[in-house]
Structure 1
């Protein structure tokens, strides 16, 4: 009775060994036939482009928030919003300026610029004094016109000019507070006398 049980156990062990060997041989044959991707098809090599989001407002067809690739310029953002309206003055904004994430881009209206240009002419006729009701365009005014604003002296006027040259212009009149020496109180005196 002991012998047949031993034979049965040996038979089961032999059968399990043959199945394991067959599985190994099948695995090796399938490994050779596996399709390998070439390095050009590897998705892990692709680096996703960084994106920035900017707010475009003013004289554009569809103002709003747009997402662009990092390194995009103001012209790209304006084009994403359908371009400049006929009433917009694209000459007063630096379309080649590189955008920063979170930046606000405002395309000015021609009417604002015309009014400001009239203010600049009247200043030169009145030795730097403006007539009541006329606005000074902080993106185009010269140092003399800026100096005539309340609380703005020659030094601050120069800082305003330097800011618009390095930053591509003011996008909003409240950006004037970024100039050292112009705080909330001084801006409150200026805001009704300036435009962009």
Structure 2
């Protein structure tokens, strides 16, 4: 259709139809992209959920030494040395736990060795115990009591009323007459009567 100036113009109903088509196309396009975004979000959410449900990754560690069940064990990724030791049934009594860092993080394929206490350390412990027993024997033996059959002169000298001279007489008596058969026998030592024995009887033993 030509207007009065000779230019071609579109009828009004065609303009209306054209505008309507544009609106419909925009609406359809918006709906499509909206549905597409929702589907994409649903897929991502589903993937995240599935990933969260996956079991924790495990690593394999070789544990040797002073544990109850040495060998290969599986522990969760990020586990510590203590976890691997527990998986092996725990430490043996001979294990030297101070030489193992139980807090160290483990890696797949790692070897964890738990050493045993050295023989020298055990010997030192025994030697200390033996020396302690010897010292107790020299001092008199049972608790705070002085054993008049085994105590040396220094230990006997600590008894009330017993000086160096009397301590020597007690030792000489043991050497010549033999061991005391009862604590009352100490009264056979010159200088120890009933009064002094009363002070000694709760301090001595045989």
TM-score by length of structure 2 reads 0.34
Instruction: Name the structure, 1 or 2, with higher relative contact order (CA <8 Å, separation 6+).
Output: 1
Q: Which has the larger radius of gyration?
A: 2
TM-score by length of structure 1 reads 0.36
